Structure 1
């Protein structure tokens, strides 16, 4: 039987690489910055331009109206964020915009593809490092052409954990974020890290460089591609309450194994974060 999604997968890799080249070139020139939900939630002209390039290329390749799209900048401009059974591309054109603005060298293009609400593949191009991470459901994960495998560490005390602060600076949420980090650090673990991009963080879990990444307040476009890559590298995905992973919930733990994941979950102080698929008119500014 002919593979129905191999063409889409191969094209996604090509598009991600092309988008990364645009980002690298933009990083050498003047960066125009505005804000979205807060003064620390940044968007640049590059984010918007790269998303248009990606979606435009996909529509040209597969035909207008045949696929659906969930893009970070499109949603920020008022489009819906609903995952249906239709073939759907989930896109973060520049994951790590704050890094990009400051010249911090972790910026990624993240492209995922879902059918019947199931993620079929994920592609993450860490464009400043020139590393292409990719995975297809049931067919393994790779960095460039090298297979990926999560760490075999089972002892939480020998682990490195990644998390991020997010863009919500409300004191009550910041307090919970740092309280969680303090409790995890005092387990103790070998260290806490953060690259500034969820996509890159998940690739670090998949490659075995760290044992886990968790965050509350992320979006589906931040983690959709990474979710496929982590799972295909042998890792696990859970909700921060220990339940099943929910792409639209804006909260996640990805880890090399369930033992590490559930030990971290014991320390997480959960706070509310409105779902990505909440009705648009009810979304908070």
Structure 2
């Protein structure tokens, strides 16, 4: 896609994300959330998740009817069940990232919309309606929050100076929980501090705007971090595989960091590595 086409895609994604945020606010104000679980008790979904995703898909299709779509609730709807990213333009949507927060009236929840071309994100929009923050990026054009340029804290190059984000307690398998806690224990004593806000997309945006420095995440899905990952890289940060190499967006593991040196030190400090079925 040329720069003009990318700008058009970004404009559509922003409009759609703001509309989705309005749906989230309306549902929250009504106070009647229909909640169910997916794989296990901490993996929640609400009827609002499903409604928002349908709305986002429908609105984007009006502009780009020939593009592929991947969403958290419908997975690979409308593309013949073909998994993963291909060379085709593909919209990747998480209608409500941070559903647990949404259910508990915690403001750290958002809609995440990315467009990937050639298997790589080229447009990213993350909108937190309860924080009133709209993060945007497109390939080669930098990253913004509410229209203002943002940048990662690139002078943070070592773990001892870093505020690190982690997401503990998300695994149902006891061995995965043990490995997760081993990593947290290894990082917490080497870093400046450890934080958690419950939304992978917003966590990456925190790195992009310099309010945190690094994160790692296991079991993550492409819809959780495609948009936020692009926003971080366009803000001058890096997105890596947990073993320090290039990220594979469908491998379900990621390190984000404000600098390459910090990301590589974080990778080297992790004592356990987890594997999951690919998206």
Give the aligned partner of residue 94 of structure 1: 96
Q: Give the C-alpha shift of residue 126 in structure 1.
A: 1.1
1:178 aligns with 2:181: yes
SS at 1:92 equivalent: strand
Q: 1:109 to 1:166 in 2, by over 3 A?
A: farther
Preserved CA contact (<8 Å) 1:166 1:218: no
The correspondence of residues 156-175 of structure 1 with structure 2, limited to 5 A, is 156-165=159-168, 167-175=170-178
Give the aligned partner of residue 226 of structure 2: 224
Rounded to whole Å, the distance in 2 between the matches of 1:275 and 1:31 is 31
Give the aligned partner of residue 33 of structure 2: 31
Q: How large is the Cα RMSD of the aligned pairs?
A: 1.6
Q: Which moved more, 1:2-11 or 1:116-125?
A: 2-11
Q: Give the C-alpha shift of residue 146 in structure 1.
A: 1.1
The correspondence of residues 133-144 of structure 1 with structure 2, limited to 5 A, is 133-144=135-146
With the length of structure 1 as denominator, give the TM-score of the two structures: 0.92
Structure 1: 5+ residue stretches without partners: 277-285
Rounded to whole Å, the distance in 2 between the matches of 1:213 and 1:155 is 13
Q: Give the C-alpha shift of residue 10 in structure 1.
A: 0.3
Q: Give the C-alpha shift of residue 166 in structure 1.
A: 5.8
Q: 1:166 to 1:218 in 2, by over 3 A?
A: farther
Rounded to whole Å, the distance in 1 between the matches of 2:128 and 2:277 is 28
With the length of structure 2 as denominator, give the TM-score of the two structures: 0.94
Q: Which moved more, 1:119-128 or 1:151-160?
A: 151-160
Q: Give the C-alpha shift of residue 61 in structure 1.
A: 2.2
Rounded to whole Å, the distance in 1 between the matches of 2:84 and 2:256 is 23
Q: Give the C-alpha shift of residue 79 in structure 1.
A: 4.7
Preserved CA contact (<8 Å) 1:38 1:167: no
SS at 1:192 equivalent: strand
SS at 1:260 equivalent: helix
Q: Give the C-alpha shift of residue 258 in structure 1.
A: 1.2
Q: Give the C-alpha shift of residue 200 in structure 1.
A: 0.4
Rounded to whole Å, the distance in 2 between the matches of 1:8 and 1:142 is 16
Q: Give the C-alpha shift of residue 5 in structure 1.
A: 2.2
Q: 1:86 to 1:76 in 2, by over 3 A?
A: closer
Give the aligned partner of residue 244 of structure 2: 242
Q: Give the C-alpha shift of residue 118 in structure 1.
A: 2.2
Preserved CA contact (<8 Å) 1:131 1:143: yes
Give the aligned partner of residue 22 of structure 1: 23
The correspondence of residues 1-285 of structure 1 with structure 2, limited to 5 A, is 3-28=4-29, 29-63=31-65, 66-75=66-75, 79-151=81-153, 152-165=155-168, 167-187=170-190, 189-268=191-270, 269-276=272-279
Q: Give the C-alpha shift of residue 136 in structure 1.
A: 0.6
Rounded to whole Å, the distance in 1 between the matches of 2:6 and 2:160 is 41
Rounded to whole Å, the distance in 2 between the matches of 1:241 and 1:155 is 17
Give the aligned partner of residue 280 of structure 1: none
Structure 2: 5+ residue stretches without partners: none
Number of residue pairs matched by the alignment: 273
Q: Which moved more, 1:158-167 or 1:94-103?
A: 158-167
